[in-house]
Chain A
Amino acid sequence: MLESFIFATILIGFFGIIFKQNLVMKIVSMDVMSTGVISYYVLLASKNGLFTPIIGNKDNISYADPVPQSVILTAIVIGLSIQSLMLVGAMKLAKNNPTLETREIEKNNTP
């Protein structure tokens, strides 16, 4: 159930990248897609349990798998930096193309 929601998020983000005309909206759609991917990692990590894997005095509780979570942390950071870079690019482009319509930008900037 949750899995299908997550895949729906990924797909909605993906189609947003294709169908949205505005450059900023495209960037936001990509963020939606990456949110979907991140939550998929979190979901798979919690398949065996929900507890944080920290040493404590309780024993034999079902821990969440720490590996996917730690791995996706890197992807979150990379995603953030790419988002910000792209938004800076969009800002620069907005000076000469105030509407940020991708079709227009593409037409003006391809030889």
Chain B
Amino acid sequence: MNTLTIIWIAIPFFIGFNIYLLPQFDRYLALGVCIISGVYALQIFNYSSPINLNLLDNFGVILVADRLSSFFILTNSIVTAAVIFYCWNLEKTAFFYTQLIILHGSVNAVFVCADFISLYVALEVIGIAAFLLIAYPRSDRSIWVALRYLFVSNTAMLFYLVGAILVYQTHHSFGFAGLKGSPPEAIALIFLGLLTKGGIFISGLWLPLTHSEAETPVSAMLSGVVVKAGVFPLVRCALMIEELDPIIRLFGMGTALLGVGYAIFEKDSKRMLAFHTVSQLGFILAAPKVGGFYALTHGLVKSALFLISGVLPSRNLKELKDQPINTPIWIALVVASLSISGFPLLSGFGAKVLTMKNILSWQEIGMNLAAFGTAISFAKFFFLPHDSQTGKAKVQSGFWAAMALLLGGLVVANVFYTQAYTVTNSIKPLATIFLGWVAYFLIFQRSIIKLPRVIEQFEHLIGGMSLMLILLFWMVFS
């Protein structure tokens, strides 16, 4: 199993570069890598004990693969496969597939590494690959958005590096376990890097613009898995070190509320989905113990929603209200929205129930409010007009293959937590969804409030980092 892990990490990079040499097989090779990852993830899921690799003594690379990572890796492989299906007939060049697979590989690497330096390397490779994917259309806007993303993430990672050496100074090892007993500034700096990279709370406000302005398949990939690369180490740290658990839970709750608050008032469908990513990442962090399952569900749903929003006639929700959409697409949209609001029979339900069971008492009000907000904001999608005649020719078969994979995955993922199906458990999400719809009709449908975007400006994002750092210092010290 140890050798298998190493081969599995190396394979995406190896094949990724080979795609560029064999452009005629690009899609098949890319799909092959996803299948390998998926099989590997299922392997570790069945493995009873976590796999620990300690390459080259305790200074070297430490890898840990356990059940938590298997959820994340599975998400990664399914989402990447769906994105490849979506692009199957879209005439993408081999360069696109190369970047996609390298991104896939580096995200996989994040999900198994357990020391700060390999994490740093993997996160930076993600940054570069995501930059290239966002800038791929090479229009002015896409270049600026990509540049902004790289800037924010690289600045955050520089702070992170300072934190990593402080951990090394105290323990002479870069392992995650060394966070315990490290000076508070080390924890604050490392967390700043991870929070920014993962799009959590105020430091995650770079995310909406980046994810909404990228191309459809790229934003599906970014929202589905790439942000989870920042979240995963936080979850791992929360599970390893008890003292950090409350801080991460608090950030989870704050993020869930912040993201949903913006999403309710958003009028642009892609930006709304991006804000929702912020809020759902909060759900993952709010209950670190069961974060893996939530991440799987969210990855499937969010990439499905982003792919669907790519085939809708418009991005503006107001215009969508006047333009009927094709009924099969509408059904896919509704299934995905129901899952994210926690409707039974879809795995979003199991994930929500599991999360709600694992939160602490002080989190309850906040998380329930966030779930309620989710229902409100997705009511916007339920009540769009639809009709079976329009826009049939626009959608290719690749889109439906991707939908089948993602939405089918949502139904199948129910098997991970079948105990959720009791009457008392089902009543609450149904009531939440119903109340959300009522609130939408009575209040939010008519609201014309537009939240300011000042805080999302580039300089404010960087400046916000320093404020976050002060906040983190204060939290870690007390």
Residues of A within 8 A of B (CB): 10, 14, 17-18, 23, 26, 30, 33-34, 37, 40-41, 44, 67-68, 71, 74-75, 78-79, 81-82, 85-86, 89-90, 92-93, 96-97, 102, 105-106, 108-111
Report yes or no: A33 in contact with B155, Cβ–Cβ below 8 A: yes
Report yes or no: B158 in contact with A18, Cβ–Cβ below 8 A: no
Q: What chain A residues lie within 8 Å of B155 (beta carbons)? A: 14, 17, 30, 33
Cβ 8 A contact of A109, one of B121, B140, B158: B140
Report yes or no: A74 in contact with B147, Cβ–Cβ below 8 A: no
1/0 contact string of B261-298 vs chain A (CB within 8 Å)? 00000001000000000000000000000000000000
Report yes or no: B135 in contact with A89, Cβ–Cβ below 8 A: yes
Report yes or no: B462 in contact with A18, Cβ–Cβ below 8 A: yes
A15 to chain B, nearest CB (A): 9
A29 to chain B, nearest CB (A): 10
**Given A14-B466, A75-B120, A86-B150, CB of A41 within 8 Å of CB of B144:** no
Q: Main SS of the interface on chain A?
A: helix
Residues 429-478 of B contacting A (Cβ, < 8 Å): 453, 457-459, 462-463, 466
Report yes or no: B151 in contact with A30, Cβ–Cβ below 8 A: yes
User: What number of B residues sit within 8 Å (CB to CB) of A?
Assistant: 41
Report yes or no: A106 in contact with B462, Cβ–Cβ below 8 A: no
Which of the candidate stretches B161-169, B231-239, B360-368 sits at the interface with the other chain?
Answer: B161-169
* Interface-centre pick from B121, B140, B169 (highest chain A CB count, 10 A): B140
A8 to chain B, nearest CB (A): 13
Report yes or no: B147 in contact with A86, Cβ–Cβ below 8 A: yes
Q: Main SS of the interface on chain B?
A: helix
Q: What chain A residues lie within 8 Å of B213 (beta carbons)? A: 111
Report yes or no: B168 in contact with A109, Cβ–Cβ below 8 A: no
Report yes or no: B154 in contact with A74, Cβ–Cβ below 8 A: no
A19 to chain B, nearest CB (A): 8
Q: What chain B residues lie within 8 Å of A40 (beta carbons)? A: 162, 165
- Write 30 A-B pairs (CB below 8 A) sorted by A numbering: A10-B162, A14-B462, A17-B462, A18-B463, A30-B155, A30-B158, A33-B158, A37-B161, A40-B165, A44-B168, A44-B169, A68-B168, A74-B117, A75-B120, A75-B161, A78-B124, A82-B127, A82-B128, A85-B150, A86-B151, A89-B135, A89-B146, A89-B147, A90-B147, A96-B140, A97-B140, A105-B144, A106-B457, A109-B140, A110-B453
**Given A10-B162, A37-B162, A85-B128, CB of A109 within 8 Å of CB of B141:** yes
Residues 102-161 of B contacting A (Cβ, < 8 Å): 117, 120-121, 124-125, 127-128, 131-132, 135, 138, 140-141, 143-147, 150-151, 154-155, 158, 161
Report yes or no: B128 in contact with A81, Cβ–Cβ below 8 A: yes
**Given A18-B459, A82-B128, A106-B144, CB of A41 within 8 Å of CB of B121:** no
What CA separation (Å) do A10 and B466 show in the bound complex? 12
B230 to chain A, nearest CB (A): 17
